[in-house]
Structure 1
């Protein structure tokens, strides 16, 4: 009985920890893609912000997302509003 309870609790924790919602990108804009900056213009803006060595540049949900090195030399995963170019979420290692 005790083992069953532990297994149930462990399963519930795992479900919450590894749910797809935990890995979802933030909502960056409600504007249609026709209003977004072109990828080339966005990449230029990102470079001016000091991000270097952009390994990945992609569309993620309603955001532009990059994996790059920030101006302090640290790895960063950054989500941008594709209309304004503003940083919406910045995850730094």
Structure 2
């Protein structure tokens, strides 16, 4: 068997595995509401601080229409948190 045929046999199943794993790696969907109904980013950042999150090194809008932060919780633990941008509720969080 040639190297190119061997690579073709390995690459196809690997591509399928990546495609199947992608949804599990993606963040949650937070809202389908129109963007003009979302809490403005500056107000949302203030709400997040009031919730006790600090040292925010990243604040972004995800493909799932969430506000997502990377920072620390009130106890200083690393936090990745997804918020619904319409009501500031936590949809998903990972605390280390």
Secondary structure at the counterpart of residue 32 of structure 2: coil
In the alignment, which of 59, 66, 88 is matched to residue 57 of structure 1?
59
Which residue is equivalent to 2:82?
A: 79
Q: Which structure 2 residues correspond to residues 1-93 of structure 1 after superposition, within 5 A?
A: 15=17, 19-61=21-63, 62-93=65-96
- Separation in structure 2 between the aligned mates of residue 20 and residue 57 of structure 1, nearest angstrom: 22
* Residue-pair matches, total: 84
Larger radius of gyration: 2
Secondary structure at the counterpart of residue 40 of structure 1: helix
The CA deviation at 1:19 is 2.1
- Separation in structure 1 between the aligned mates of residue 19 and residue 54 of structure 2, nearest angstrom: 32
Deviation larger for 16-25 or 36-45: 16-25
Deviation by residue 1:10-31 (Cα, 9 ceiling, x = unmatched): x57x926972212211011110
Deviation by residue 1:19-71 (Cα, 9 ceiling, x = unmatched): 22122110111101111111100000000000010010000021000001000
Gaps of 5+ in 1: 1-7
Secondary structure at the counterpart of residue 23 of structure 2: helix
- Separation in structure 2 between the aligned mates of residue 69 and residue 81 of structure 1, nearest angstrom: 19
Q: TM-score, normalised by structure 1?
A: 0.80
Q: TM-score, normalised by structure 2?
A: 0.78
